[in-house]
């Protein structure tokens, strides 16, 4: 059976994927050839967003759910490159990610990282875990990082309610950072969603308005919900990329 973590690894040029994953990825590329561009821009957002959270917002603790197969630099490497004392708990529900988790446990001596085999849809279990208790201080601000995971949570699993349950226990000054696939710019993404669904992977592209709803009650950081390559770009990208090629929204917001 194909798995999203390994399909995504294939788009990024990784080696941790099997024939079923490569077949699903190739089928997707037939209908949405820009999937690797979208994946790379999504990773680039992780770099900029993490730098923003550490260097500008002063965050030193992260909970990253839907981590994926380790891809260097991983979130803790970016955060600890700026603030070595940063602490990161990673969580994913894919056994293949668990099998590679050692690469996520390469913390600086001043900081700490932990890995948790868990499902985003069980916030209480994640928040009450030993890994969180031993790694994060729930009284201090935490950035909840949900990168390219929520489009795998169908409406029937109440993704908005899930986010509210996490945010309700985060102290004031915490942040929510997320990215999310969208079909707002091209029907190719809807076709890609069908390829995933035909292989048993629930994919739900959401509109800008639906993505904005994840941030209800939070103070959104400028520029708000943007296609990820337009979110605080390091350098002007001119005409080299358009929104349809990227088709992933991203944003960061502060918990009041």
Ligand X SMILES: C[S@@+](CC[C@H](N)C(=O)[O-])C[C@H]1O[C@@H](n2cnc3c(N)ncnc32)[C@H](O)[C@@H]1O
CA distance 91 to 41: 22
Of the two residues 44 and 57, which places its CB atom closer to ligand X in the complex? 44
> Would you say 58 or 95 has its CB closer to ligand X?
95
Residues near ligand X (CB under 6 A), total: 22
Q: How far is the CB of 46 from ligand X (least distance, A)?
A: 6
- The phi and psi torsions of 250 (rounded to 5 degrees) equal -145, 155
List the interface residues with ligand X, window 79-118 (CB under 6 A): 92-94, 97
The residue within the footprint of ligand X, chosen from 24, 53, 142, 147 (CB under 6 A), is 147
Task: Tell me if 8 contacts ligand X by CB under 6 A.
Answer: yes
Site for ligand X in 18-47 (CB under 6 A): 42-43, 46
Does the bond joining 73 to the residue before it have cis omega, within 30 degrees of 0?
A: yes
> Which of these segments, 3-11, 160-168, 223-231, 232-240, binds ligand X (CB under 6 A)?
3-11
Residue 9's H or E segment, with its range, is helix 4-11
CA–CA separation, 70 and 254 (whole Å) = 27
What are the φ/ψ torsions at residue 13 (nearest 5 degrees)?
85, 15
For tokens 């708000």, the residue is 224
Q: Closer to ligand X by CB, 121 or 232: give it.
A: 121
**Interaction of residue 66 with ligand X, rule CB under 6 A:** yes
Q: Are 202 and 154 in contact (CB under 8 A)?
A: yes
The Cα–Cα gap between 78 and 71 comes to 11
- Minimum Å gap between C-beta 4 and ligand X is 5
Q: Find, among 224, 218, 179, the residue nearest to 64 by Cα.
A: 179
Q: Please tell me the distance from the alpha carbon of residue 2 to that of residue 237, in angstroms, as a whole number.
A: 34
State the nearest-atom distance from the C-beta of 122 to ligand X, in Å. 8
Q: Which residue, 116 or 218, is less far from ligand X as judged by CB?
A: 116
Asked if 120 touches ligand X (CB under 6 A), the answer is: yes
Residue whose C-beta lies closest to ligand X: 68
CA dist 52 and 232 (Å) reads 9
Minimum CB distance to ligand X smaller for 2 or for 111:
2
Note the residues at the interface with ligand X (CB under 6 A). Answer: 4-5, 8, 42-43, 46, 65-68, 71, 92-94, 97, 119-121, 147-149, 152
């Amino acid at each position: 059976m194909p798995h999203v973590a390994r399909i995504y690894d294939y788009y990024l040029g990784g080696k941790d994927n099997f024939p079923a994953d490569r077949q699903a990825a190739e089928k997707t590329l037939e209908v949405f050839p820009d999937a690797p561009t979208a994946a790379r821009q999504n990773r680039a957002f992780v770099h900029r967003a993490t730098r923003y959270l550490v260097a500008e917002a002063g965050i030193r603790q992260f909970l990253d759910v839907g981590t994926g197969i380790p891809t260097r630099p991983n979130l803790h490497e970016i955060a600890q490159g700026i603030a070595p004392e940063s602490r990161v708990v990673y969580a994913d529900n894919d056994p293949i990610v668990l099998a590679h988790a050692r690469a996520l446990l390469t913390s600086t001596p001043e900081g700490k990282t932990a890995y948790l085999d868990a499902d985003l849809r069980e916030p209480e279990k994640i928040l009450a875990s030993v890994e969180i208790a031993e790694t994060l201080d729930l009284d201090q601000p935490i950035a909840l990082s949900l990168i390219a995971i929520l489009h795998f949570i169908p409406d029937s699993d109440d993704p908005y309610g899930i986010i509210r349950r996490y945010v309700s226990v985060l102290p004031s000054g915490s942040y929510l950072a997320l990215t999310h696939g969208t079909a707002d710019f091209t029907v190719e993404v809807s076709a890609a969603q069908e390829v995933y669904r035909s292989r048993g992977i629930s994919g739900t592209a959401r509109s800008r308005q639906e993505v904005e709803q994840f941030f209800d009650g939070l103070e959104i950081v400028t520029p708000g919900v943007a296609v990820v390559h337009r979110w605080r770009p390091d350098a002007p990208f001119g005409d080299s990329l358009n929104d349809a090629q990227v088709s992933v929204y991203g944003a960061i917001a502060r918990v009041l």
